[in-house]
């Protein structure tokens, strides 16, 4: 089978499994006017999503003493004038001269030529490439009109007068707008991070590939503010021996210390935040040999960034960007300072000097992470007639499933007692329907790491069988020792 076909098969099958097992599916799927690029999360998807967020909060926000805020999704025009999004948040659009089919010029050229095509070329360059490669409309084989600039902002009208406003395309703009107030009221000192989770909206020209390119999606963003004169004054002792894979012209697998010595990474500040980000993704169960940071060239970098490293994960779709790590300099703070005519400068107490902070950003897509976790943990084991998601325990939608072996002889009563005992501590699920084998398979299918079965012997000696998902090993254990064992 050609590689591309096989790869798409994996993606398609994970997407189908996700829908069938209550993770996610297209929005309003029962209607013919359903919108492309919008997805709904079912109970298992929502639980997985919340568990990813929990790990993100624990590993980044809490460990690094960051502040978290929750800003609005609709913001006034001024915010996006100052941020540059109304002028520069664009993709190159091409329209078929005959059938009107619309698509992204860079993507179509890339698909046809199999070459990397930058997102930020002049339109004239796309026109030349289309002509040179004789690219025609994939629907009706006619010629395309000249490439145009397509702004991805979603506009809305507020109140009866329909005052123009926009749905935010990245969560961080409210972090920047709120920066002076947060600095004044939250007793923070440079350097410090502000984090935010939330929905964002982009009017993508051609959303495809499920959760990978949506029009409404979730971000987990962190903006770290620092004095630009102190970009190398951060203690990296506890991370300098960590390994890190940096793709800059070629793959460099190195320690953080060596990456700095070899000037692969420009500053200790960037090295520190890339490393803690890597550790967060390891906690999500992404194998280290499937992750890398890719240095993004000037032509491909977003308009607000001086330096970008994309955190990427190898999936069946190729290297997939899960998090953009951008050095935004003072681009945003100076933009809002200028338009609002308010000062965004703050005092760096360590040098007793007023500075306009610089920003290093970790902008992670939640939905893409969720897809990558599903794909990388999915296994088919035909020998045992089962499929599993081998999620890390912390991510599993259900952590412990509890079954009475049969639906009689006092087993359901004891099983319910065990369920009530464990419920406050773990995400539990009680199931008494179907054969025991079928019940185990159902839990494997949604990645439940532990199943407990209450059988005849349980009634005699207060023990249960504890089955572990990946090995399918079963041990017999006293009910009184269950909590300790499961915690372990
Ligand atoms: N604040 C910077 C920013 O928003 P970005 O690279 O545009 O940077 C950050 O987006 C992350 O959001 C990406 O790494 C990706 O994980 C996710 N993302 C971007 N566009 C997306 C889309 N259309 N659908 C799903 N996730 C998307």
Measured in Å, residue 185 CA sits from the centre of ligand 1 at 30
Distance CA 147, CA 124 (A): 7
Residues 6 or more apart whose Cβ sits within 8 Å of residue 400: 422, 426, 427, 428, 429, 448, 449, 450, 451, 452, 486
Element (H, E) at 354: strand 353-355
What stretches in the chain show pLDDT beneath 50?
1-5
CA of 369, closest atom in ligand 1: 16
Q: Ligand 1 test: best mutation among 219, 306, 322, 328, most atoms within 8 Å of CB?
A: 219
Name the residue with the closest Cα to ligand 1, atom 17.
Answer: 365
**How far is 437 from 234, CA to CA, in rounded Å?**
54
What was the pLDDT predicted at 299? 86
pLDDT of residue 330: 98
Q: Which long-range contacts (CB under 8 A, 24 or more apart) does 305-310 make?
A: 305/331, 306/331, 307/266, 307/270, 309/246, 309/270, 309/274
pLDDT score of 118: 87
Residue 5 is predicted with a pLDDT of 46
466 CA distance to ligand 1 middle (Å): 41
Strand intervals (E) in 188-306: 192-201, 216-226, 243-248, 250-255, 291-296
What residue's CA is closest to ligand 1, atom 15? Answer: 365
The model's pLDDT over 52-65, given as tens digits with 9 standing for 90+, comes to 999 999 999 999 99
Output the residue whose Cα is nearest ligand 1's atom 19: 365
The number of the ligand 1 atom at minimal distance from the alpha carbon of 221 is 1
pLDDT tens-digit profile of 433-458?
A: 999 999 999 999 999 999 999 999 99
**From ligand 1's centre to the CA of 388, what distance in Å?**
28
- Per-position DSSP letters for 161-184, written without gaps between them: TTEEEEE-SSTHHHHHHTHHHHHH
Distance 488 CA to ligand 1 centre (A): 36
Which residue do the tokens 């520190």 mark?
272
Chain center to CA of 312: 11
* Euclidean distance between CA atoms 392 and 364, whole angstroms: 20
In this structure, the residue with its CA closest to atom 18 of ligand 1 is 365
Ligand 1 mean position to 349 CA, how many Å? Answer: 34
Residue nearest to atom 22 of ligand 1 (CA): 213
Q: Kindly report the protein residue whose alpha carbon is nearest to atom 5 of ligand 1.
A: 324
249 HSE (CA, 13 A, CB side): 1
Cα 365 to ligand 1 centroid, rounded to whole Å: 5
**How far does the centroid of ligand 1 lie from the alpha carbon of residue 331, in Å?**
19
Ligand 1: which residues within 6 Å by Cβ? 170, 172, 202, 204, 213-214, 217, 219, 221, 321-324, 361, 363, 365, 367-368
| CA 169 to centroid of ligand 1, rounded, Å | 9
Can you say whether residue 318 is alpha, beta or left, with left for phi > 0 and alpha for psi between -120 and 50 degrees?
left
Pocket test for ligand 1, best of 327, 363, 366, 372 (most atoms within 8 A of CB): 363
Task: Return the ligand 1 atom nearest residue 204 CA.
Answer: 23
Cα 160 to middle of ligand 1, angstroms: 33
Question: Rounded distance, CA 201 to CA 219, Å?
Answer: 10
Which atom of ligand 1 approaches the CA of 304 most closely? 2
Ligand 1 geometric centre to CA of 366 (Å):
9
CA distances from 419 to 112, 430, 472 (A): 56, 7, 21
**pLDDT computed for residue 88 by the predictor:** 96
CA torsion, points 223, 239, 191, 302, in degrees to nearest 10? -30
Sheet holding 102-104, edge to edge: 102-104, 90-95, 148-151
Give the tens place of pLDDT for each residue, 268-296. Answer: 999 999 999 999 999 999 999 999 999 99
Contact by Cβ (8 Å): 452, 482: yes
Backbone Cα Rg of the chain:
26
Centroid of ligand 1 to alpha carbon of 234 (angstroms): 28
CB proximity list for 252: less than 8 A, separation 6 or greater: 245, 246, 259, 262, 264
> Which residue's C-alpha comes closest to atom 12 of ligand 1?
365
| Atom from ligand 1 closest to the CA of residue 310 | 14
Q: Which of 38, 293, 365 to mutate to test the pocket of ligand 1 (most atoms within 8 A of CB)?
A: 365
Q: To the nearest 10°, report the CA torsion of 240, 243, 248, 249.
A: 130
Ligand 1 centroid from CA 28, angstroms: 23
Whose alpha carbon is nearest atom 14 of ligand 1? Answer: 323
């Amino acid at each position: 089978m050609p590689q591309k076909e096989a790869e798409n098969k994996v993606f398609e099958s994970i997407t189908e499994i996700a829908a069938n097992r209550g993770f996610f599916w297209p929005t309003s799927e029962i209607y013919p006017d359903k919108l492309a690029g919008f997805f709904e999360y079912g109970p298992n998807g929502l639980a997985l999503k919340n568990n990813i967020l929990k790990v993100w909060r624990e590993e980044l926000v809490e460990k690094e003493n960051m502040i978290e805020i929750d800003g609005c999704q609709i913001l006034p025009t001024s915010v996006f004038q100052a941020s540059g999004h109304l002028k520069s948040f664009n993709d190159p659009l091409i329209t078929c001269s005959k059938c009107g089919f619309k698509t992204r010029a860079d993507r179509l050229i890339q698909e046809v030529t199999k070459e990397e095509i930058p997102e930020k070329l002049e339109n004239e360059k796309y026109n030349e490439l289309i002509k040179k490669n004789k690219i025609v409309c994939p629907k009706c084989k006619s010629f395309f009109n000249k490439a145009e600039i397509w702004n991805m902002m979603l506009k809305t009208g507020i109140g009866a007068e329909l005052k123009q406003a926009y749905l935010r395309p990245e969560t961080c703009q409210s972090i920047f707008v709120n920066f002076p107030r947060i600095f004044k009221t939250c007793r923070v000192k440079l350097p410090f991070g502000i984090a935010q989770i939330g929905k964002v909206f982009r009017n993508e020209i051609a959303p495809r590939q499920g959760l990978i390119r949506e029009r409404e999606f979730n971000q987990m963003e962190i903006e770290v503010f620092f004095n630009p004169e102190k970009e190398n004054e951060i203690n990296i002792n506890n991370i300098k021996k960590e390994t890190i894979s940096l793709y800059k012209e070629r793959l460099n697998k190195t320690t953080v210390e060596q990456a700095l010595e070899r000037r692969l990474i420009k500053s200790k500040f960037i090295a520190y935040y890339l490393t803690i980000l890597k550790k967060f993704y390891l906690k999500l169960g992404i194998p280290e040999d499937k992750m890398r940071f890719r240095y993004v060239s000037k032509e491909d970098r977003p308009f607000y960034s001086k330096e970008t490293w994309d955190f990427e994960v190898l999936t069946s779709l190729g290297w997939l960007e899960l998090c953009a790590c951008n050095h935004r300099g003072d681009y945003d703070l100076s933009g809002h300072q200028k338009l609002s005519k308010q000062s965004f400068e703050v005092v760096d107490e360590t040098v007793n000097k007023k500075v306009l902070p610089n920003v290093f950003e970790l902008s992670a897509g939640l939905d893409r992470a969720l897809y990558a976790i599903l794909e990388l943990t999915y296994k088919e084991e035909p020998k045992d007639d089962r499929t599993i998601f081998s999620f890390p325990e912390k991510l599993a939608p259900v952590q412990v499933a509890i079954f009475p072996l049969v639906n009689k002889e006092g087993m359901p009563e004891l099983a319910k007692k065990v369920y009530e005992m464990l419920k406050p501590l773990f995400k539990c699920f009680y199931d008494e329907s179907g054969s025991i084998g079928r019940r185990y398979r159902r839990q494997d299918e949604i990645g439940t790491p532990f199943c407990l079965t209450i059988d005849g012997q349980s009634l005699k000696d207060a023990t249960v069988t504890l089955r572990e998902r990946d090995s399918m090993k079963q041990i017999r254990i006293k009910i009184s020792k269950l909590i300790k064992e499961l915690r372990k």
